[in-house]
A and B are shown apart, each in its own frame.
Chain A
Amino acid sequence: MSVLGSGIFKGMAVTLKNFVGSYFDKERLTTNEYAWQANDKLPERAGDYPKEEAEQLSDTTTVTQYSRNFPMLLHDAGEPMDTVRCVACQICERECPPQCIYIEKSTEKKERSGNKAQFYPATFDIDVSVCMSCQICVEVCPFDAIVMNSQFELSTPSRFGELLLRRDDLLKSNDYYYKIHPEEASARDKRIADEKAAKEAKKKAAEAAKKKAAEAKSKSEAEAKAKEEAEAASKPTEPSDTPPAESTATPSTEPPATPTTEPEKEGSAE
């Protein structure tokens, strides 16, 4: 402490510098109400969506694509309840830490467009006044059916009315998901596609192995047959090699994507 008050003046110089700087520093010259408003992708596209989703989309433009708020249920393109991914397995309901999800499983399976019949949630309620946006439901969901929405303007005058989100409020299209979380959505879809491809490749490999086995079996059978026939033919003077050639040719000309049961059938048919 050299001169009394010099420390205070030093500090005041800093505040003065900051004050003056706010008139010259480009970053601080203007107040940007929402720092991420510069994201120009969203507002004009919002008009392409159904009214409610469009409202929510314009609402989510004020937050970053990384932010999360409350969960929503995903459906693929088409009629929401025809393409909803949720099969009402109730894992999220069990795992939800504040227990804010309530699901009632449908009694019957329902035909999905492009997929086989599955159960669907007859009731799917999320009490967002209890939800704490922890994202555990998203993590535990094995069907990628539940993801986080980033819409936040949910204030209502009643406690149990609009704060209890019903199934139809929660259903959102995958397109909408792409709009609010582009990076996450594409990563997720890539993973789903990869898993599907891996599953298919595995299935194909299993099929190929099965077919190979069947082929080898039929080949050995055919060979045995041919041998028999040859042995039989060796007694008469005229050898006929047409049946073995035919039998070995049939499996190889078969298209690769055959149902799993076919090679067996063929083997048994022979």
Chain B
Amino acid sequence: MTVAAPNYELVQQDGLETSLLEVSMGPHHPSTHGVFRMDVKLDGETVVDLKPVFGYLHRNHEKLAENMSYLASMPFTDRLDYFNSMTNNWAYALAAEQLVEIEIPERAEYLRVIMSELTRLVNHVSLVGFFVNDLGALGTPLLYAFREREKILDLFEQASGARMMCNYFRFGGLRCDVPDGWLDRTREVVDRFPKFLDEYEKLLCENEIILSRTQGVGNLSKELAISAGITGPMLRASGVNYDIRKVDNYGIYERFKFRVPYSEGDVGDCYDRFMVRMLEMRESIGILRQALDGIENGPIMGNAGKVFKPQKSEAYGRVEAPKGELGFYLVADGTTQPYRYRVRPPSFINLTVLQDMCIGQQVADAVIILGSIDIVLGEVDR
């Protein structure tokens, strides 16, 4: 599979004794985006072996969900990937809606698209900030990003009551309608966003330090990316044109015109992953504009009954979350509680290739590679 450390041969210098250095990066390392640990074996500055260690934030979300009603799991899905609670809600609602026949009203579908694209902006803009933060650009780009993110979180708060733990989607629609004037405020934010993106690109994309530290670092080949189930911007950076919004056309995505940015080569490096996210934000703005033009008044809740009690069946619903394919697999046994509830977390499965990408790189680059995968530990450990 990969070069294991015991087989690694140290270069012996004359008269000097050398040995591998084992370093435990994390769980409280600022670059690990939470409580994640990498057991790294180093030969000088070069990473020889890397073993990810998970589970510091494990709370067995799946077991909890199997012991409560379907609806009661909805607020817990917010806490998986706490940056993108709206898309988490959508994936869960999508899976549950497959278990029973629910007609989703038009306005709810539009609002779902608007919410999830706003979420994508929030995620990508702050991810880019964190990523350059890992590179050593402390503060400035991240705070510029957070300035914009805050405006979108205000919109979330006005719609759902909470900035991050939105808990906004319901089986068959949404919990409540957006307040008066919300769509105008959203349009204002969306219209100002490209200006910020221009500034942001000017700030980062041509910066020689970023170029030299990210290009050719953390290479991931197309074949490995597909085989390892990598999804989202990371897959597209490796040259695969695969976006679940296009493939599955869930919700009403077939009504919107947008392009899927992906890299041309067969190998993706950290710079590709960074740029794919920058380009994806532009497309999200395009979708948001179309959705804001298309939305009409109407009901926001479908014909869902008071008690959600599906027949014996199973369903797998997946959405293109900002981090990749987020799937929910539900097995219903005819009661009000799911018999099996499974989350397919994108950032957990994207970590499969961390070892392959890091071996042979410098230890400082391992931090960037981890940053470019875009993980959130709430989702990795569940």
Starting from the known contacts A7-B207, A67-B161, 12 additional A-B residue pairs (CB-CB under 8 Å) come to: A1-B211, A6-B206, A7-B211, A8-B209, A10-B202, A14-B199, A14-B202, A66-B157, A66-B161, A132-B75, A135-B161, A148-B161
A-B pairs with the 3 shortest C-beta distances? Answer: A7-B206, A134-B75, A68-B161
Once the chains bind, are A95 and B179 in contact (CB under 8 Å)? no
Min CB gap B278→A, angstroms? 14
Q: Is A62 part of the binding interface, using a Cβ–Cβ cutoff of 8 Å? A: no
With a cutoff of 8 Å between Cβ atoms, the chain B residues found around residue A113 in the complex are: none
Interface size on A, residues (CB 8 A): 27
| Stretch of B1-9, B46-54, B66-74, B106-114 contacting A (4+ beta carbons < 8 Å) | B66-74
A130-143: CB near B (< 8 Å → 1, else 0) gives 00111110010000
B148-189: CB near A (< 8 Å → 1, else 0) gives 000000100111011101010000000100011000000000
The CA of A148 and the CA of B161, in the complex, are separated in Å by 10
User: What would 24 A/B residue contacts be, using CB atoms closer than 8 Å?
Assistant: A7-B208, A8-B209, A10-B202, A10-B203, A10-B207, A11-B202, A11-B204, A11-B207, A13-B202, A14-B199, A14-B202, A64-B157, A66-B157, A66-B159, A67-B163, A95-B72, A97-B68, A132-B75, A133-B162, A133-B165, A134-B167, A135-B175, A136-B72, A183-B179
Q: Is B262 part of the binding interface, using a Cβ–Cβ cutoff of 8 Å? A: no
CB contacts under 8 Å to B, within A1-57, are 1, 4-8, 10-11, 13-15, 18
The CA of A96 and the CA of B74, in the complex, are separated in Å by 11
Most buried by B among A4, A13, A18: A18
Q: Is the interface of B mostly helix, strand, loop or mixed?
A: helix
- Contact residues of A with B, CB < 8 Å? 1, 4-8, 10-11, 13-15, 18, 64, 66-68, 95-97, 132-136, 139, 148, 183
The CA of A133 and the CA of B157, in the complex, are separated in Å by 13
A-B contact count (CB 8 A): 75
With a cutoff of 8 Å between Cβ atoms, the chain B residues found around residue A6 in the complex are: 206
The CA of A5 and the CA of B180, in the complex, are separated in Å by 49
The CA of A31 and the CA of B329, in the complex, are separated in Å by 47
Most buried by A among B79, B206, B209: B206
With a cutoff of 8 Å between Cβ atoms, the chain B residues found around residue A4 in the complex are: 208
Min CB gap B292→A, angstroms? 20
Given contacts A1-B208, A66-B161, contact A135 B167 (CB under 8 A): yes
